[in-house]
Each structure stands twice: as structure tokens, then as C-alpha cells.
Amino acid sequence: GAGVSQTPSNKVTEKGKYVELRCDPISGHTALYWYRQSLGQGPEFLIYFQGTGAADDSGLPNDRFFAVRPEGSVSTLKIQRTERGDSAVYLCASSFTGTGSYNEQFFGPGTRLTVL
């Protein structure tokens, strides 16, 4: 049983460029989450998918950020016109159902994004 995987592990880009970050959740997990973690801070929620649909995207900071999960498995976080302030570790997590009082989320190793 593979865990959550994320690619790339590191991404360096220039200000203004477009980036895509990929997340492969644990097989069979219907819920998928994206978080962002800045240096010295805890992870902050970005978006939550239940199946193919974004059930809650209230954490996305602005319209430069977008995420998809077209087949209910792999998800891609897309950032347009990157800014230096977007530099952070982007974490993906998945869980079996996303609901209930015992909803353990399994995290991937993260993608460290650096915007120069």
C-alpha cells in the first residue's frame, strides 16, 4: 500500500510563471485535501475534494489558484502568474471518506515551491 505521493518534490520557478503540482492519493480514498505551509507556520487549508468535485475551496487565497480532480483520484493544483509570496511547501492529504468523527488524513511529503 503506497502512501500519498506528490510530484515534483521541489519546484523552482520565476515570478509570473505558471506551475502545476500533482498529488496521487491513497487508492480508494474519496476525500483529498490541499494545504499550504509557510516557513515556521502550521499548514493552512486550501481546498477539499469529495470525489471529483471541490466541496470547499474557501482556503484558496485568490483566483490565481485553481485545483482539479477530474477522475476522482489524482489532483493537480495550478498556480498562475506566480508571486514570491506563493513560495511555500504545498501538502496534499487524503482520507477514506472525509466525514465522520474519525477522519484520519494521510499526508504526502509535499512539494517545496520557490518563486524567484
Identify which of residues 59 and 72 has a Cβ nearer to other proteins in the complex: 59
> 67, 6 in Cβ contact below 8 A?
no
Distance from C-alpha of 103 to C-alpha of 116, rounded to nearest angstrom: 37
**In the complex, least distance from residue 30 CB atom to other proteins, rounded to whole angstroms:** 11
> 61, 82 in Cβ contact below 8 A?
no
40 makes contact with other proteins (CB under 8 A): yes
Query: Which span sits near other proteins by CB under 8 A: 17-25, 40-48, 62-70, 75-83?
Result: 40-48
- By CB under 8 A, name the one of 2, 14, 39, 53 that touches other proteins: 39
Distance from C-alpha of 79 to C-alpha of 48, rounded to nearest angstrom: 16
